[in-house]
Amino acid sequence: MGKSVDGEAVIAVVIESDDAISDRVCGVLRNIGFVVHDESSGQRGVSLAAQVKPDLVIVGFGLPDIDGIETIRRLSSALESYVLALLDPANEIKLVQALDAGADGYCSKPLRDGEFRAQVDALMRRHAISARARQSDPGQEPQQLRHGQLTLDSSGWEVRMDGVLVALTATEFSILHVLMSAPGRVRSKRELARRVNLNEEDLDHGFVTESDVRSIEVHVANLRRKLGDSARASQWIETVRGVGYRLVNGRTSA
């Protein structure tokens, strides 16, 4: 029985030039039920993803043509797929660049099967929530959160500012949803990491690494940029030093 979201098989594309790593990643994904396609170059991988419209794309680094960062950037600008970077998390510059380019998460290289499956499961849980929301009764009232000129529609997974659509990655959307659910409430970086990556039952005690925390910092920085915000002049997301983040009034009072 293949892995599915509400009865539909899910598709993954693996873009990795190292045959041994690609074979291992593809094998793990197939074992947990994905329909898997693979490519060894960035350009061909992006083209393949555009054709099959996968739910998940795994991007390795050291590709022979365009690099992993550019591959992720092209994927995130053209598709709604979740993107997982496969890299050495000790290389903080590459990690930040990958998240900044639009990756929703990362997995350590060399590959650890348990960690990889956990990351995939976390992304696909969010995908399942999104799919169920998109398939909800169109006659029902949209599930919307409003804060000043900012509107988040969880039924259509859309964010608008002054009525204009703001393109966010799945992770950025999830972070904003948590912040907008309780404006003014401070959310720690570790709490945001848990809510983005873990099951509901793990929210209080799930393990969060320093790399997970760093990922949240990068995602929040990208979210701020897309909302026209900054850390020095917070219009939407305020940093509470030593604690985390909270949603503030924005350009107009809520």
The pLDDT value given to residue 92: 80
| Phi/psi at 82 (5° precision) | -80, 135
At position 192, the amino acid (one-letter code) is L
Peptide bond into 64 cis (omega under 30): no
pLDDT, residue 120, reads 85
Model pLDDT, residue 138: 46
Please give the class, per CATH, of domain 144-247: mainly alpha
Q: Which amino acid is at 196?
A: V
Burial of 85-116, coded b for 16+ CB within 10 Å and e otherwise, reads bbbebeeeebbebbbbbbbbbbbbbeeeeeeb
The contacts of residue 177 (CB under 8 Å, 6+ apart) are 145, 152, 154
Q: What is the location of CATH 3.40.50.2300 in the chain?
A: 4-134
Bridge partner residues of 161 (DSSP):
150, 164
* Per-10-residue mean pLDDT, the chain, length 254: 56 95 94 94 96 94 92 89 86 86 85 84 65 48 79 86 87 90 91 73 58 85 86 80 85 42
Tell me what pLDDT residue 122 has: 72
At residue 130, the pLDDT reads 53
The two structure tokens encoding residue 94: 């590459």
Specify the pLDDT at position 251. Answer: 56
Residues of the chain with CATH 1.10.10.10: 144-247
Retrieve residue 182's tokens. 């309780």
> pTM of this prediction?
0.70
Q: Is 81 exposed, middle or buried (0-12, 13-18, 19+ CB in 10 A)?
A: buried
pLDDT score recorded for residue 107: 85
Is CATH 3.40.50.2000 correct for 4-134?
no
